[in-house]
Amino acid sequence: MRGMPGSNFRVGDKVVYPNHGVGVIEQISLRSNGFVTERYYLLNIRSSSLKVQVPCQNAAAVGLRGLVATEEMERILKFLSQAGESKNADWKERYREHMDKMKAGTLMEVAEVLKSLLVLHQQKELSVRERKTLERARYLLVNEMAQAKMCDELQVEDQVLAALLKAELKFPDVIGDEGAA
C-alpha cells in the first residue's frame, strides 16, 4: 500500500502526515464518546516529536499515506530536472496555492512548490514567508525520499540538487533572517 492514502496501516508503519512529514504509527486504539466507538492512529512525527491522533476512517481525507514509491521518486527527480516557468500570480494567490499543495499530501505537489519558488527566486528575492515555504518543501521532499530509500538525507539532497542543476535552478544562498544583502 506504499504511497496510497488509506486506513489499512499497522503499528510500526511509516506514514506521511501532510505538511508535517514522516511519522510512525505507534498505536491503534479505540475511543468511545458514549454512542460511537472509533479506531484512531497515534502518530509520532519524528522531525518535531509531535503526537497526532487521526481517526482511521478520516485517514484518507486528511491525506495520511504511505511513503512515496520508487517510481514516483524517479518522476519527481525528472520533473525537477526539467525547465520550469514562473507563474506571475499575485503573491497572496501564489502563497495560498502553495499552502494548498503542501497540505494536499502528495510529494509531487511538494516538489511543484519547491520548483515554483526556485524559478521565482531566479527573477526576484523571495519574501521571508516564501523562503520559509521553500525550506519546508525542501525538508519534506528530502526527508521523505530518504526515509523511503532508507538512506542518508545528504545522499537524497545531492540527487535533488543534481536534478535542479539540470534545470539551471539552485537554492538561495543562506543569508539568515537579517534579509538580503
Query: In the prediction, which pLDDT does 7 show?
Result: 58
Q: What is the DSSP letter of 165?
A: H
- Distance from C-alpha of 9 to C-alpha of 25, rounded to nearest angstrom: 8
Query: In the prediction, which pLDDT does 2 show?
Result: 47
Task: Per-residue pLDDT tens, the chain, 181 aa: give them.
Answer: 444 455 589 999 999 998 889 999 999 999 988 889 999 999 999 888 899 999 999 998 888 999 999 999 999 999 999 988 777 677 888 889 999 999 887 999 999 999 999 999 998 888 899 999 999 999 999 999 999 999 999 999 999 999 999 999 999 875 444 444 3
Query: In the prediction, which pLDDT does 6 show?
Result: 54
Residue 54, CA distances (Å) to 30, 46, 47, 126, 154 in order: 11, 16, 18, 35, 31
Query: In the prediction, which pLDDT does 180 show?
Result: 41
Query: In the prediction, which pLDDT does 83 show?
Result: 87
The residue extents of the domains of the chain are 14-66, 70-166
Q: Which residue has the cell 509531535?
A: 50
Angle at 169 between CA 167 and CA 171, to 5 degrees: 150
Query: In the prediction, which pLDDT does 38 show?
Result: 93
Query: In the prediction, which pLDDT does 19 show?
Result: 84
Pairing of the two strands 65-66 and 50-55 = unpaired
Q: Which fold has domain 14-66?
A: Thrombin, subunit H (2.40.10)
Query: In the prediction, which pLDDT does 48 show?
Result: 85
Burial (CB < 10 A; 0-12, 13-18, 19+), residue 152, is: exposed
- Hey, what's the cell of 67? 511513503
The amino acid sitting at 87 is K
User: DSSP H helical segments within 19-166, as ranges?
Assistant: 70-81, 91-104, 107-123, 128-149, 153-166
- Hey, what's the cell of 20? 508535517
- Distance from C-alpha of 153 to C-alpha of 102, rounded to nearest angstrom: 20
Q: What is the value of pTM for the model shown?
A: 0.86
Task: Decide if 30 contacts 39 (C-beta within 8 A).
Answer: yes
- Hey, what's the cell of 148? 523511503
- Distance from C-alpha of 77 to C-alpha of 54, rounded to nearest angstrom: 31
The CATH class, in words, for 70-166 is mainly alpha
C-alpha closest to that of 15 among 72, 66, 54: 66
List residues bridging with 53 in a β-sheet.
42
